[in-house]
Structure formats: structure tokens, C-alpha cells
């Protein structure tokens, strides 16, 4: 779709298609969101994309909220609504039919095979998300250090992630990053 078409339609189309390919959840779809929103449609800059990701992680609720924020920045409240519905609707319908299919064929080995096959895919996608977001967010070596420390702390301890986000915010406010 061209950028001169209606942005609402463009949002609905982009996220409607994306939702069908969102193997591994919204965090795994981040590279595609970034590619479309920053590189293809020029809806936002790299920096804004990192901001939007940060806000979506701060907010209570599912990761898919990043879509709401992208929609809002493109076309206001209507954009937020359309983007969210487009991202959730098709997936919900697909998930419903797939789960019905899975329970019906519970004697077969296909569900297990498909699950085994999709796990590495979604982890690979999340890895790509990590790389793209790190490139967008970590503009300085100090930022890279904060990312690394947050990753290690979150991995090794049971600290509430909100504390880490808060600490990052404080360091940013203090001008360290």
C-alpha cells in the first residue's frame, strides 16, 4: 500500500495481515512492525519506535498495546482503535479454529509436531526483535550497559520488571544515558 492512501485503511491492512503471521505473540512481530512503520510507511522514526515500545512495556496489559500506540501516532484515537482491532481480530478467529481443530484431532501427533516446530521460530523472531530494538533504543554505550544489566538482572533474579524500567527511567532522567 502507498503512503498516500487513507492511513486508517493502511493501518487496518498492515496489522490485519500481520496478526495472521504473529507467531509467538506481539513481541515476535516487532521486527515486522518496525520494518513497516519506520522503513516502509515512514509513520515514525527509529527513536519514536523505541519510545513507543518503552511506553507499551510500562503500561499494564498485554504486549500487543504497542500496536495501539503506533495506531494512535498515525491517526489519533481512530487509528489506535483500528490498529488494535485489526491486530487482535483475525488472530482471535484463527486461534479459535485452530484450537478446535487441535482438540478434535487430539489423538493425532500433529499438534505436538506443529508446536515443536513453531517454538524455535518464535524465539528466533524475538531475538530479531531484541536486536532491532537495541539498535533503536541504545544510542550510547551507557544505554547498552543499562540494557545488558537489565537483561542479566531480569534473567538471574525474580525482581519485578517494573523496578528495572523505573531504574532505567531514573538513569535517563539523570542524564546518564
Partner 1 sequence: MIVTVLAALYARYGEIDALRRILVGVSCAAVGLLISALFRMMMPLIKRRDLIGLVILAAVFVAIGLLRLPLPAVLLVAIPLSIAIAYFIRRRATS
* Residue nearer to partner 1 on the CB measure, 12 or 18: 18
Q: Work out how close the CB of 135 gets to partner 1 at its nearest, in angstroms, rounded to a whole number.
A: 9
Q: Work out how close the CB of 61 gets to partner 1 at its nearest, in angstroms, rounded to a whole number.
A: 7
Rounded (10°) CA dihedral 56, 128, 22, 7: 60
Farthest CA pair distance, the chain: 59
Burial 71-103 (b: 16+ CB within 10 A, else e): bbbbbeeebbbbbbbbbbebbeeeeeeeeeeee
Instruction: Number of residues interacting with partner 1: please give it, by CB under 8 A.
Output: 82
* Residue nearer to partner 1 on the CB measure, 9 or 118: 118
CA-derived radius of gyration, the chain: 18
Q: Which of 8, 12, 29, 82 binds partner 1 (CB under 8 A)?
A: 29
Task: List binders of partner 1 among 100-139 (CB under 8 A).
Answer: 109, 112-114, 116-134, 136-139
Per-residue binding string, partner 1, 79-98, x by CB under 8 A, is -x------------------
HSE-up of 42 (CA within 13 Å, CB side)?
3
Q: Which of 1, 51, 89, 90 binds partner 1 (CB under 8 A)?
A: 51
Amino acid at each position: 500500500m502507498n503512503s498516500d492512501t487513507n492511513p486508517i485503511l493502511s493501518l487496518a491492512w498492515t496489522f490485519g495481515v500481520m496478526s495472521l503471521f504473529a507467531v509467538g505473540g506481539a513481541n515476535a512481530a516487532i521486527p515486522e512492525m518496525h520494518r513497516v512503520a519506520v522503513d516502509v510507511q515512514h509513520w515514525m522514526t527509529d527513536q519514536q519506535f523505541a519510545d513507543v515500545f518503552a511506553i507499551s512495556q510500562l503500561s499494564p496489559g498485554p504486549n500487543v498495546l504497542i500496536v495501539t500506540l503506533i495506531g494512535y501516532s498515525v491517526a489519533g484515537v481512530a487509528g489506535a482503535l483500528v490498529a488494535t482491532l485489526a491486530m487482535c481480530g483475525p488472530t482471535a478467529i484463527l486461534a479459535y479454529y485452530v484450537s478446535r481443530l487441535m482438540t478434535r484431532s487430539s489423538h493425532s501427533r500433529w499438534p505436538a509436531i506443529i508446536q515443536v516446530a513453531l517454538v524455535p521460530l518464535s524465539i528466533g523472531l524475538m531475538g530479531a526483535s531484541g536486536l532491532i530494538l537495541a539498535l533503536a533504543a541504545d544510542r550510547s554505550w551507557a544505554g547498552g550497559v543499562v540494557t545488558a544489566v537489565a537483561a542479566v538482572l531480569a534473567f538471574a533474579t525474580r525482581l519485578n520488571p517494573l523496578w528495572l524500567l523505573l531504574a532505567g527511567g531514573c538513569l535517563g532522567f539523570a542524564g546518564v544515558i
